[in-house]
């Protein structure tokens, strides 16, 4: 579940954020999960790429509780050095 932080004047409200399950994309990723291919999600900012990957991780964990997943947000300050190593600015 995602939480959306909304600030209005001096009050802060936390409420569940609705997400849309992109079934077609999740099905495509599921079919390709065991293929020796790199999967790339592209799109404009804030179109749901990270949400799609999170939903796919949840699906993988549901199928196999012992699956190992490493997810790195390269926008986080602690991991920026990864982005710098691959030439991202």
Domain boundaries, the chain: 23-85
Taking the C-alpha atoms of residue 74 and residue 72, their distance in angstroms, rounded to an integer, is: 6
Please state whether the predicted TM-score (pTM) of the whole model is above 0.85: no
Helix, strand, coil share of the chain (percent; to 5): 40, 15, 45
Written as six digits, the tokens of 82 are: 């990864």
The sign of the CA dihedral 44, 24, 27, 23 is: positive
For 17-50, write each residue's pLDDT tens digit. 678 888 999 999 999 999 998 888 889 988 889 8
Q: Is the model more confident about 50 or about 9?
A: 50
């Amino acid at each position: 579940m995602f939480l959306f932080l909304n600030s209005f004047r001096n009050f802060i409200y936390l409420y569940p954020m609705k997400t849309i399950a992109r079934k077609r994309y999740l099905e495509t990723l599921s079919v390709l999960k065991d293929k020796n291919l790199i999967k790339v999600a592209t799109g404009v900012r804030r179109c749901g790429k990270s949400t799609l990957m999170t939903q796919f991780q949840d699906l993988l964990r549901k199928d196999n509780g012992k699956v190992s997943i490493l997810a790195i947000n390269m926008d986080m300050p602690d991991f920026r050095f990864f982005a710098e190593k691959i030439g991202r600015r």
